[in-house]
Amino acid sequence: MGSYTVQNYGEMMTDPRRMDAYERAIRTACRPGSVVLDLGAGTGIMALLACRAGAARVYAIETSDAIAVGREIAQANGFADRITFIQGRSTDLSLPEPVDVVVADLRGTLPIRGASLASMIDARRFMAPDGVIIPATDVIRGGLVEAPASYDTVIAPWRRHARGFDTSPAERLVLNSWRKQHLAADALLTPAQEFARLDYHALATASAGKTVTTHVVRAGCAHGLAAWFDTTLLGDIGFTNEPGVSVSLYGQGFFALPSPVPVDAGDVVRMTLRATPVADDYVWCWDTRISSPSGTVKAQSSQSTFHEHPLSALRIHALVPQARPSLGVSAAVDRLILQCLDGDTTVSAVADAVRRQFPERFADEQAALARVRTVLARYPVEAER
């Protein structure tokens, strides 16, 4: 899961639907003396809201360096003594006491992103027996859409701006990707369908998705599937990022079809949307079958973000189970740096070791120090002062 910038965190606060709902939910869940976990705290806005709602202590966990800004903001608002900021992955951490409330927004455009579901499942171990988790549920919904402008953003660079060249190999890749779009309510060609229900009090798996069958409600041209979420934060408090929402930080996910498909009212649409965790992120798959009421198939496709990224023959060979790959020099440098991070060796000493072993790669101490700092930035570390 990629890190957000401080500017991104500022943008997140500009969506009134999101912020008003979260503030109301936090105010409802927190009681004087409550202990709260702000999971994926960023610059700490949810932690601040919890303090204002009466929380006695807040543990704010964040992997990125934005946590340093959160500490300063807490200090500026008089909450530094009530908020404990912890940098790292929540799945690697423990807390000194159970919490009464877990509050999180680990979503991207959709709730399934990076380690989001795994982190939400793991977060339950921090909770007191009668603890509350915000959000309580996210429901992923979607449907077939007519969205020529959104489709154009995917395909136009390769069909209209390729200077007369055949760029179909690139088209095949981009048509196996999905992207954030802002769609109008009238883009929908089918009724909204539920693809996943994420109950964070009971969720047991980080995979999600299913197959649904529905009907086209009006004639048009299908360009892809749209997906969004309806969230229940607490009780009757929630919001949606469905198509047509006037202000939405999240937008909707747009999953393009290989080609636009003319459709008529009554056509039968069978759609599968599924997300499977792989490494540090998800592989999304979407299968679509559109047929007339008589059963004539108008279009059928199977797409996946697994095919989104190009792989050279060399890399494919290295991934097969029987392969015996060896590290290149760059990876060997990183391995040495990581091996030296034992809690006793200084950064300067690590840089010296790197220069001694790889003199041809580093002209001076500054170059070696820069490489060590680059590696350190990839991982949360505990630094002795």
Q: pLDDT at position 5, please? A: 85
Residue 100 CB coordination number (10 Å): 21
Provide the angle, in degrees to the nearest 10, between the axes of the packed helices 365-378 and 329-340: 80
> Residue 71, class by beta-carbon neighbours within 10 Å (0-12 exposed, 13-18 middle, 19+ buried)?
middle
Q: pLDDT at position 19, please? A: 94
User: Coil, strand or helix: which one is 127?
Assistant: strand
Among 249, 165, 168, 263, smallest CA distance to 214 is for 263
CATH number among 2.70.160.11, 3.30.530.20, 3.40.50.620, 3.40.50.1980, domain 138-310: 2.70.160.11
- Rounded Cα–Cα distance for residues 231 and 238 (Å): 5
- Rounded Cα–Cα distance for residues 35 and 30 (Å): 8
209: left (phi over 0), alpha (psi -120 to 50) or beta: left
What whole-number percentage of the chain has pLDDT above 90? 79
Among 80, 114, 119, 115, smallest CA distance to 102 is for 119
- Rounded Cα–Cα distance for residues 144 and 23 (Å): 33
Q: pLDDT at position 4, please? A: 80
Residue 202 CB coordination number (10 Å): 9
Provide the angle, in degrees to the nearest 10, between the axes of the packed helices 365-378 and 347-357: 120
End-to-end CA distance of the chain: 29
Q: Which residues pair with 304 in a beta bridge?
A: 285
Cβ density class 156-177: b for 16+ within 10 Å, e for less: eebeeeeeeeebeeebeebbbb
Residue 338 and residue 376 in contact, taking contact as beta carbons nearer than 8 Å = no
Class of domain 6-105: alpha beta
Model confidence, pTM: 0.85
Q: Which two tokens stand for residue 86?
A: 């912890």
- Break the chain down into helix, strand, coil percent, rounded to 5: 30, 30, 35
- Rounded Cα–Cα distance for residues 232 and 234 (Å): 6
Beta strands in the chain (DSSP E): 35-39, 57-62, 83-87, 99-104, 127-134, 137-145, 178-181, 193-199, 208-215, 220-234, 237-240, 252-263, 268-278, 281-291, 297-304
Residue 238 and residue 21 in contact, taking contact as beta carbons nearer than 8 Å = yes
Listed as ranges, residues in the chain with pLDDT below 50 are: 1, 385
Provide the angle, in degrees to the nearest 10, between the axes of the packed helices 45-52 and 16-29: 40
Does a cis peptide bond (omega within 30 degrees of 0) precede residue 135?
yes
Number of alpha carbons in the 13 Å side-chain half-sphere of residue 214: 22
Q: How many residues does the chain have?
A: 385
pLDDT 10s digits, 4-47: 888 888 888 988 999 999 999 999 999 999 999 999 999 999 99
The domain spans of the chain are: 6-105, 138-310, 312-385
pLDDT 10s digits, 361-376: 998 999 999 999 999 8
Residue 196 CB coordination number (10 Å): 22
- Rounded Cα–Cα distance for residues 47 and 55 (Å): 9
